[in-house]
Amino acid sequence: MSCVHCGRDVQPAFRYCPWCGATQRRKLVEFFLGHEGRALRVSRYFRTVDQEPQVRVSVWNEHGEALAAVSLDEPEAARLAGFLRPARAHRSAVTRLREAVGTRRPTR
Ligand SMILES: [Zn+2]
């Protein structure tokens, strides 16, 4: 096996490269349960020497069959993450700045 980051030899059991310290994880997979036995499978592929980062989303039915899949590049995946962020995080920069300095517009 070779390191996903620097390409030097790494034993398969190693979780980190002894040469550059990079984690040898190539992807992360998580399932999200939907209604009627369906599920969303989200796989995050990390950048490695031979792999571009991407997020793959697939829809699975109650029989364990994939019905559809779509791959998102990093900018689209980041946009999706922003869309799913709690509404509180969407407050405008002006609102957050006002709260930070604790000032309000003077009232007359
Ligand atoms: Zn390495």
pLDDT in tens, 68-104: 999 999 999 999 999 998 876 566 777 778 888 876 6
More confident residue, 81 or 105: 81
Give the chain's largest Cα–Cα span. Answer: 72
Indicate the average pLDDT of the chain.
88
Whether 80 maps to a domain, the answer reads: yes
Range of the domain at 34: 27-101
* Residue 27 Cα to ligand 1 middle (Å): 16
Neighbours of ion ligand 1 (CB under 5 A): 3, 5-6, 17, 19-20, 22
Tell me what pLDDT residue 31 has. Answer: 96
Write the CATH number for 96. 3.10.450
Whether 95 maps to a domain, the answer reads: yes
Whether 39 maps to a domain, the answer reads: yes
- Averaged pLDDT for residues 6-28: 91
| Tokens standing for residue 91 | 């407050």
Tens digits of per-residue pLDDT, 34-51? 999 999 999 999 988 888
| Tokens standing for residue 102 | 């604790």
Whether 56 maps to a domain, the answer reads: yes
Number of domains, the chain: 1
Whether 19 maps to a domain, the answer reads: no
* Inter-residue contact 11 to 1 (CB < 8 Å): yes
More confident residue, 5 or 79: 79
* Residue 25 Cα to ligand 1 middle (Å): 12
* Residue 54 Cα to ligand 1 middle (Å): 21
pTM confidence score: 0.67
